[in-house]
Amino acid sequence: DRKHKLYPVTSDYVGVQIATNLHENIIVELDKQKRLSAFLR
C-alpha cells in the first residue's frame, strides 16, 4: 500500500512496505514459468 490513492485499488496482502514518492514506481512482473518479481524504479 503506497498511500497514493489515484485509483480505487487496494491490496489484499501486504508482505513488504516500501516508502516511495510519486516519482517512483513499483514494477511487478510474472514470467512464463509464473515466477513473480518486483522492483522499485
Is 70 exceeded by the pLDDT of residue 9?
Answer: no
Note the pLDDT tens digit of each residue in 18-28: 788 889 888 89
Query: What pLDDT was estimated at residue 29?
Result: 93
**Helix, strand or coil, per DSSP, at residue 28:** strand
| H/E segment holding residue 22 | none
Q: Where are the domains of the chain?
A: 1-41
Is 80 exceeded by the pLDDT of residue 1?
Answer: no
Higher pLDDT, 8 or 20: 20
What does pTM read for this prediction?
A: 0.45
The pLDDT mean for the chain works out to 79
Q: Which three cell numbers stand for residue 6?
A: 489515484
